[in-house]
Structure 1
Amino acid sequence: MPTLPPPIVIDQPLPYVERLARRDLSGVDLVVVHCTELPDLATAREYGERVLYPSGTGNSGHYYVDRDGTVLRYVPEDRTAHHVRGWNERAVGIELVNRGRWPHWLDSRHQAMDEPYTEPQLEALVALLRRLAQTLPALRYIAGHEDLDRERVPASDDPSLQVPRKRDPGPRFPWERVLAAVPLQRLPDPLPPA
């Protein structure tokens, strides 16, 4: 991957960002890579703005990287975003815009994740990861959402079948390429296989 300039980050805070818990950045040692599993950035923003909790907050990553390489920050790093169960306090969530399994997330017949990540998207992700590694003193690890949430749930088309609740960033994500370009290491296996 070529030498990349620092990413241009566009701040677009979520309406409830001030309600998200503050955190000490010295405890943030992990980046979690997600894909939105939605058709586009506008739909991802709509999902991120939905209030789901009594605190008046919802589910969202810190950063969103669109297919053209545009990087948006919805939540500052010093706030705890809700993006991966059990790991939020120590992690920065980065969402890559990608259809994933949309719109049949849990249908056993639609578990393929065929959309490739774009070159501008991957370059922007690497530039963002390099910047985060420079600005967050404890940042050491990177993981995929699928590494940390291995729950299997009944398929929507046939409850007798089990499908992964989360598969992102999925089989099309180029882990070797990204790891070779950033000063982070894959999080050692934190969980026994489900």
Structure 2
Amino acid sequence: MKRYFFVSFLIVILSSCTTQMEVVDKPIVFDNQRIELTKEYLQQRYNLNQDSPDIVPKMIVLHWTAIPSFTKSFGAFRNSMLPNFRPEIQTASALNVSSHFLVDQDGKIFRLMPETTMARHVIGLNHCAIGIENVGGTKETPLTRKQVKANIWLVNYLASKYDIEYLIGHYEYTNFEGHPLWLEIDEGYRTEKTDPGPEFMRKVRRATREFNFKPVPTK
């Protein structure tokens, strides 16, 4: 009897780990204006002159939106131009912030743009980083277990598809200053970040340790 329950339990665990999640394409505006602003960002921030806004992913960066709903979070990324209420980053570029994926509180995954096109989501590293945003992150709207599960699935998907070297939380980005991947030319252009939190990162890292991502550099 004990053996029967153990085998049944094992089957349930293995089934849950291999559950296929659905990625829904919900593209943000990526018109000629956004393409040109992205190429301009690559040139002005990183000294990269490119004919297209393509990137070679080497890193996955996890975020939270600090916005309580999917609709408002998506709306923050949708347009090409940065809105006027972001003066702390507006001087660096008129390009709007964005991310490749947006995960809702119920764990549903939405792809906002191609994975190999540059999104503005992490200073100094956009040229090589895929961004995953999670709706919420405030005291009133904390990140959920379903979002943890969705992020684990996404990291597995991306790391199996690309040569990903690093998995980091947004709050860890400044640890890469001086690293070969760090290309930001302005030493004064930094913002303080806490997303998505050490506990969220611990859970995702523990579940994806089979990929042997490189450790985050220490300052």
Classify the TM-score, shorter chain. 0.7 to 0.9
**Greater C-alpha Rg:** 2
Give the conservation status (yes or no) of the 8 Å contact 1:40–1:98: yes
Output one character per residue of 1:29-68: Cα deviation in whole Å (capped at 9) or x when no partner. 1100000011111111111024128987410111011110
Q: Which residue of 2 aligns with 1:40?
A: 69
Query: How far apart, in 2, do the equivalents of 1:17 and 1:86 lie?
Result: 24
Alignment of 1:1-194 (within 5 A): 2-16=16-30, 19=35, 20=38, 21-24=52-55, 27-50=56-79, 51-52=81-82, 57-100=95-138, 113=139, 115-136=141-162, 138-149=163-174, 165-173=192-200, 175-182=201-208, 183-185=210-212, 188-190=215-217, 192=219
Could you tell me the TM-score, scaled by structure 1's length? 0.72
Could you tell me the TM-score, scaled by structure 2's length? 0.65
Give the conservation status (yes or no) of the 8 Å contact 2:137–2:195: no
> Which consecutive residues of structure 1, in runs of 5 or more, have no partner in the other structure?
101-112, 151-163
Q: CA deviation at 1:124?
A: 1.3
Q: Which residue of 2 aligns with 1:106?
A: none
* Closer, same or farther: CA 35–55 of 1 in aligned 2, 3 Å: closer
Query: Any runs of at least 4 consecutive aligned residues in structure 1 with deviations exceeding 3 A, and if so which?
Result: 53-57, 113-116, 183-191
Percent of aligned pairs sharing the same letter: 29
Q: What SS does the aligned partner of 1:125 have?
A: helix
Query: How far apart, in 1, do the equivalents of 2:212 and 2:157 lie?
Result: 15
Count of aligned residue pairs for this structure pair: 163
Q: What SS does the aligned partner of 1:35 have?
A: coil
> Which consecutive residues of structure 2, in runs of 5 or more, have no partner in the other structure?
1-12, 39-51, 83-89, 176-190
Give the conservation status (yes or no) of the 8 Å contact 1:66–1:96: yes
More strand by share: 1
Query: How far apart, in 2, do the equivalents of 1:31 and 1:121 lie?
Result: 16
Q: Which residue of 2 aligns with 1:153?
A: none
More helix by share: 2
Query: How far apart, in 2, do the equivalents of 1:17 and 1:89 lie?
Result: 19
- Taking only aligned residues, the RMSD between alpha carbons, in angstroms, comes to 2.6
